[in-house]
Chain A
Amino acid sequence: MIAGLSVLLRLALRRDRIMLPVWLYALVASVASAAVSLRHLYPSQGSRDRLALSINSNASLRALYGPLYETHSLGALTAWRMLAIGPVMIALLCQLLITRHTRAEEESGRLELLSAGALDRRAPLTAALITAGSIGLVFASVVLAVMLGFGQDVAGSLAFGLAFPAVGLLFAGLTAVTAQLAPTGRTANGLAGGALGTAFLLRSIGDAAGSSGASWVGWLSPLGWAERVHPYGGNQWWLLGLLVGAAAVEIAMAYLLLARRDLGGGLLPQRPGATTAGAGLGRPLGLAWRLQRGTLWAWAVSLIVFGFVLGGITKGLQQLVNDTPEAAQTIERLGGTTGVVNSYLSTCTTFVAMAVAVYAVQTALRLREEETGGRAEPVLATAVGRLTWAGSHLLYPLLGTFVLLEAGGLAMGLGTGAVLGDTGGWIGRLLAAGLVQVPAVWLFAAAGTALYGLQPQWTTGVWGLLGLLLLITYLGPAMNADHWLLDLSPFTHVPRLPGGAVHAAPLLWLTLLSGALAAAGLLGLGRRDLG
């Protein structure tokens, strides 16, 4: 028995008593509403087969949702729709739970206080893993009950439900390892989040490439394994076993690392710092750059790599179109070969924009982090005004988002040009595609800034807003969601580039709305108490 484990488990449940039910509810609701809308939209076998044809012949739809092979039951359709995104959400939740209860606690010094009690050094990690594992199993049971309620078979429903906690456990295990390596919760989350993003893109790339050759890429991603479980079809139980086995290896590694390191220490050694500050570090701008540059570089490098890869597989899309005549018909409706590539690239651009929206919120909320962490006070006690201080950080959601979207666009243009030719043309088109997403991304940062200035205790709520709108953007169109629902997402309003028509009006009002929200936040910040 691990000393102190039950106390820590109760502490974790007490701390997460709001967050866990909210996530569970949101995830169960998306599974149930997917089932309801799919039953309504595709009642007959014929309609489901036509859906499969249109999905399987469209690279951008495959990239979004994965290919649809099994169409004989509502369960299979629901599983196909949810297994591309649901495991990502569960993985994200597990990752946050692990860092929150291990490295973040250690970093804050709270774990030191607890560790002085009768507490086994393995207790915090074990409690976090049990919490993450249990929430996954609770979710799997609810999914099982819901799918049985829809009259689906037990084996398929079990395989469907268990695919979520299996992926969750794998990313929990991965985060357990990064939490031993990284000295801060932020870095641990960043490493694990980067891995999750990579897994998502590898799965998308593999599915977009289809049978044209590069589909093996999907096997590199645990999310690709979860998708290939094929509930209600093949029920590939061994893939669930593979996920759990990989998780077990990671978890064993995490415990090994844990036993070999000091409390509060990472495994990456720290070099001594500079004796004096460089010339740049003497103004708020310099400080903000120093604090934000690491995040910006990490995002830029990832987006450039993925942009290039996403562009590089456009060649495969064209080959596929030429190969299958039925597919060619569907493609023709999309605007021919160029239409396919354009539609695929515009979907990829939306992906990139959704990722950059996460960066925008993350950097905008840095202000709140600095304030609650007590690091804003010493700066604001010098001759630095609040607006100057806030402005120096808000440059990152303002300009960093632009840089990232354009870096992604440039890389995608280079990748596309490398395989299709006309590099200059593609770069131009994809830079434009990235540019029109900027106002949509700004809106999230502006909402975060408004909350921060006016109602600081609700600031983290902007993550919920972001999650909800990303889910609507992602799942909404395929579920024939009502227009008003889709219209809530700023991504619905920006032009679909390359290929689509450009209207200036939505870009203008998104910019104005962002400006107004940010101004309201800054005005509030100027008037309220700090700290």
Chain B
Amino acid sequence: MATAISVSGLVKTFGRTRALDGLNLTVEEGEVHGFLGPNGAGKSTTIRVLLGLIRANGGTVRLLDGDPWRDAVALHRRLAYVPGDVILWRNLSGGEVIDLLGRLRGGISAARRGELLDRFELDPTQRGNAYSKGNRQKVALVAAFASDAELLILDEPTSGLDPLMEEVFRQCVAEERDRGRTVLLSSHILSEVEALCDRVSIIRAGRTVETGTLAELRHLARTSVEAELVASVPGLADLPGLHDVQQNGTLLRCQVDAQRLDALVAVLTRAGVRSLICRPPTLEELFLRHYGGAASELEPQP
């Protein structure tokens, strides 16, 4: 499988601010790649480098086998972009903007455009200044999905969309993936990323802190365990890999490193299990582990 986006050691400074500080990102062709990070982590800056709008200070960036700065125009024919904050020309209607952006990219399918307008329930005759935030977002989404691009770069594309429209968005991304397109999806909405993405990269302060499939990331993280036992097990807290242990007679709650789960279950089985709930970490927990909590827990697992 070829690589659609390959970024390594990317550095971008604005004056004294180091917005990107050795960021790595690899997106394979045909995958939907989630791009996560808190506000100000550098997601939009990375995307702007990928679009050749700003120039990297260091590191290497390859996009669809080209240099995003030097080959900007040729590469842009093959990609479509949806910004996080869509700003329209106030005297152009939504329909005109969709056609304009499509044509500037090299063409737009009228049938697909009409179908998407229906699905997103967008009125194309309103002018730019009359649209709500969600509707402006839909204009950019219709323009992007109606294009024939190989790569979609979506920067928090669902901000402002209602839950129904977000469902339409998810279907559209799934269809794009089925058609073999590559999608880079920057998002804050973890359920969206969990539902859509094959792989994710989590960045923080301009660096990549985790990257891999969700299964891989989960494997690095802890499973939460709730058990009711026949008899209490003394010394449980001393088992390696156990965290946040709460014991109340025969009731047990704890977190366990994924690779120690097997050993814990063996100990519990010996004591006799009445009930057992094991919950793999949600993306939200993964995310919070990197951004919340004590500083010592923020470093990636070895």
Contacts and interface: CB of A to CB of B under 8 A. Distances in A.
A385 B72 contact: yes
B138 to A, nearest CB: 14
B124 A291 contact: no
A384 interface: yes
A324 interface: no
A7 interface: no
B93 interface: yes
A185 to B, nearest CB: 11
B108 to A, nearest CB: 9
Nearest to B50: A381
B185 interface: no
B5 to A, nearest CB: 15
A279 to B, nearest CB: 10
Nearest to A183: B129
B207 interface: no
A46 interface: no
A276 B96 contact: yes
B189 to A, nearest CB: 22
A117 interface: no
Contacts of B93: 272-275
Interface in B145-168: 153
Interface residues of B, number: 42
B127 A270 contact: yes
A118 B79 CA distance: 46
Given A273-B95, A276-B96, A383-B77, A529 B72 contact: no
A374 interface: yes
Given A273-B95, A374-B85, A382 B90 contact: no
A484 to B, nearest CB: 38
B54 A377 contact: no
A527 B93 CA distance: 33
Given A383-B77, A531-B48, A277 B103 contact: yes
Contact of B81 (A281, A378, A529): A378
Interface in A353-401: 373-375, 377-386
B243 interface: no
B266 to A, nearest CB: 55
Given A283-B103, A374-B87, A383-B74, A273 B53 contact: no
Nearest to A284: B104
A420 interface: no
Contacts of B83: 374, 377-378, 381
A149 B96 CA distance: 62
Contact of A273 (B72, B73, B96, B100): B96
A428 to B, nearest CB: 39
Contact of A529 (B54, B88, B97): B54
A530 interface: yes
Given A282-B99, A283-B103, A382-B105, A276 B54 contact: no
A381 B81 contact: yes
Nearest to A184: B90
Contacts of B53: 377, 380-381, 529-531
Contacts of A527: 55
B92 interface: yes
Contacts of A277: 95-100, 103
Contacts of B95: 273-277
B220 interface: no
B101 A272 contact: no
A63 B73 CA distance: 53
B105 A383 contact: yes
Contacts of B85: 374
Interface of B: 48, 51, 53-55, 72-74, 76-77, 79, 81, 83, 85-101, 103-106, 124-127, 129-130, 140, 153
Interface of A: 183-184, 270, 272-278, 281-284, 286-287, 290-291, 373-375, 377-386, 527, 529-531
5 contacts: A276-B95, A277-B98, A373-B87, A375-B87, A381-B81
